[in-house]
Amino acid sequence: MKKSIGLLLAIFFAGGVSAGDVASGKSKSGLCGTCHGADGNSAISINPKLAGQGEKYLLKQLEEFKSGVRKNDTMKAMTASLSQKDMQDIAAFYASQSIQHSAVPDKYIQSGKSLYNGGDSDRDIPACIACHGANGNGMPAAGFPALGGQHPEYAIAQLKAFRAGTRSNDKSSVMRNVVAKMSDEQIEAIAYYLVGLH
């Protein structure tokens, strides 16, 4: 029985991992670099950094932009002509890059760290660390995204989109359920804490 459970867990966490080619992905990512940076470190704060993000997570986002499950007119247009192999290769390339971190503003260090590591029991908000890891590296095999180093402006926009239900591509509504309980101040504290998390 234990072997069966272990096998099922291994299949679950390994499932969907792409066989992307990093070198090929680099050559296919030229247009992506316009908004996300040549190495995935976007200089535009409303566009996400892709460097170091889990390959499985990146592939899922590309597939869902293409299918329309995740709504974004720009990204739908950008993915329209990409094949499955193109998306696998691009995901592999950006996953192989290193994200650039920034300093956390002093005013967010304590509140952001407390919420990230311990959640808020009064509001029934779980700790972010449970799914996104102690260093903000996510859980790549499970498809949970890396958050460390992300632009605060982008993180705030996405958290508020989950809270409003305008972003709904989170498995089992996990993020929507968590962020529904968060105040604007908590969203801001987490977002600014993430820039230096590593």
From first to last of its 198 residues, the chain has per-residue pLDDT tens of 444 333 333 434 444 455 899 999 999 999 999 999 999 999 999 999 999 999 999 999 999 999 999 999 999 999 999 999 999 999 999 999 999 999 999 999 999 999 999 999 999 999 999 999 999 999 999 999 999 999 999 999 999 999 999 999 999 999 999 999 999 999 999 999 999 999
Count of C-beta atoms within a 10 Å radius of residue 61: 22
Closest CA to 147 of 110, 195, 78, 113: 195
> What amino acid occupies position 97?
Q
Please say whether the beta carbons of 190 and 116 come within 8 A.
yes
For residue 129, the model assigns a pLDDT of: 98
Domain ranges of the chain: 17-95, 106-194
What DSSP string runs through the chain?
A: -HHHHHHHHHHHHHTT-----HHHHHHH-TTTHHHH-TTS--SSTTSPP-TT--HHHHHHHHHHHHHTSS--HHHHHHHTT--HHHHHHHHHHHHTS-PPP-PPPHHHHHHHHHHHHH-BGGGTBPPTHHHH-TTS--BGGGTBPP-TT--HHHHHHHHHHHHHTS---SGGGHHHHHHTT--HHHHHHHHHHHTT--
At the topology level, CATH places domain 106-194 in Cytochrome Bc1 Complex; Chain D, domain 2 (1.10.760)
For residue 15, the model assigns a pLDDT of: 45
For residue 16, the model assigns a pLDDT of: 46
Q: List Cβ<8 Å contacts ≥24 apart for 23-26.
A: 23/93, 24/89, 24/93, 25/88, 25/89, 25/90, 25/91, 25/92, 25/93, 25/94, 26/93
- The reply to whether domains 17-95 and 106-194 share a CATH topology is yes
Return the CATH number of the domain spanning residue range 17-95.
1.10.760.10
For residue 19, the model assigns a pLDDT of: 82
Q: 135 — phi, psi (to 5°)? A: -105, 10
